[in-house]
Amino acid sequence: MALTLVTGGTGHLGGDIVDRLVGAGRRVRVLARSPGVRGDVEWAAGDLATSAGLQDALLGVDTVIHAATFSPIARRGGVRPIDFFKSPSAVDVEGTERLLSLSGEAGVRHFLHVSIVGLDEATLPYARNKLAGERLVRGSALPWSVVRAMPFYYLLDRLLAGLGWLPAWPMPTARFNPVDTSDVADHVVACAFDGQRGERAEIGGPEDLDLVTLARHYQEARKMHRRICPIDVSEARARGMGLIVSSGVRGRLTWADWLKRRYPRAQPGEAERMLSGL
C-alpha cells in the first residue's frame, strides 16, 4: 500500500489530516520530534529544523503532505514587538528546502505543501518565511501541489483569549473568512489524491465577517463583556495583515458553530474567572 508522510501531524490541522487519511484506509507515517500515542499510524522521529531523521522518514514514501510550520505568534497566542522584525525560518524555509531535496532523492511522487492565502501581500516576517518556503516548492523538480488556506478558527480563538485582560478591544473593520482545520483537512486530502498537480484552489470559511463581528460572537460564546472599538484600516493595510476574503473552495463550519463546540457549557462570568487566574 502506498505510504503518505505527514509533517506537522501532531498539530491541529495535521491531526485532522491524519484522521482523514487513516479513516480512508491509507497507510500513514507521521514525522514528529517525539512519537505520539496513537497506534494506527507509523511514527518517524525527526526534526525539520535540523534535518535529523528526515532521510529515514522518507523511506518508501509515495506522497508527502507538508503541514508543519512554526509561528511564534500562534504558539503564544499573541503578538509581540519582535514579531514585526523577525521570525524563525528553520522549519518553514530551511526545513522545507531539506525536505524537498530528500524527497527527490527518495523518489516521492507528490509533494503537497500547505500554505496561507494572501502571502504575496502580507508583511509580517512569519508570512515572508511562509512565502519563501512556498516558492521553494513551486521551483522544485518534484511533482508538487500548493494549497493555500485562510487563518484557522483555533488561532483566532487563541488570539482573542489573549486580549481578555484588556477592558477594550481595538478591532479592524476589514472583512475576511477564517476557516476550521477540519474543512481544510478535507480539501487537502482530496487534493493529495485526485491526480492533479500545481496550484490548487485555496480554501476559506463559509462567511465573510469583520473582526468586530467575530469578536462579538466570541464574547457571547465565552459569556464575557469587553468594549469593542472598531478601527477603519485601508485596504492595503488590511491585506498586509492577512485580512482578505479568499476565493476558491469554501468550508462548511461557521465561526458561531465552532464556538458552540468549543465552549458548549460556558456560564456567565466563567471567562472572567478563568482570565483572572492567568
Tens of pLDDT, residue by residue over 99-115, are 999 999 999 999 999 99
Question: Hey, what's the cell of 200?
Answer: 490548487
- Does residue 278 carry a pLDDT above 50? no
pLDDT band for position 69 (50/70/90)? very high
Q: How confident is the model at residue 168 (pLDDT cuts 50, 70, 90)?
A: very high
Is 61 in a helix, a strand, or coil? strand
R_g of the chain, CA atoms, integer Å: 19
Cell digits of residue 102: 530528500
Take residue 275 and report the three cell numbers written for it.
Answer: 482570565
> Tens digits of per-residue pLDDT, 197-233?
999 999 999 999 999 999 999 999 999 999 999 999 8
Residue count of the chain, please give it.
Answer: 278
Write down the mean pLDDT value for the chain: 91
Residue 271, pLDDT > 50, answer no
- Per-residue pLDDT for 18 more than 80? yes
CB 63 within 8 A of CB 2: yes
Q: What pLDDT is stored for residue 210 in this prediction?
A: 94
The amino acid present at 185, given as its one-letter code, is: A
Residue 238: per-residue pLDDT = 86
pLDDT of residue 72: 72
Note whether 168 and 226 are within 8 A (CB): yes
- The class that CATH gives domain 3-276 is alpha beta
Give the pLDDT score at 46: 94
Q: pTM value?
A: 0.90
**pLDDT over 80 (residue 61):** yes
Alpha carbon distances (Å) from 241 to 36, 53, 172: 34, 35, 10
Residues in a beta bridge with 169: 228
Q: In which band, very low, low, confident or very high, does the pLDDT at 270 lie, cut at 50, 70 and 90?
A: low
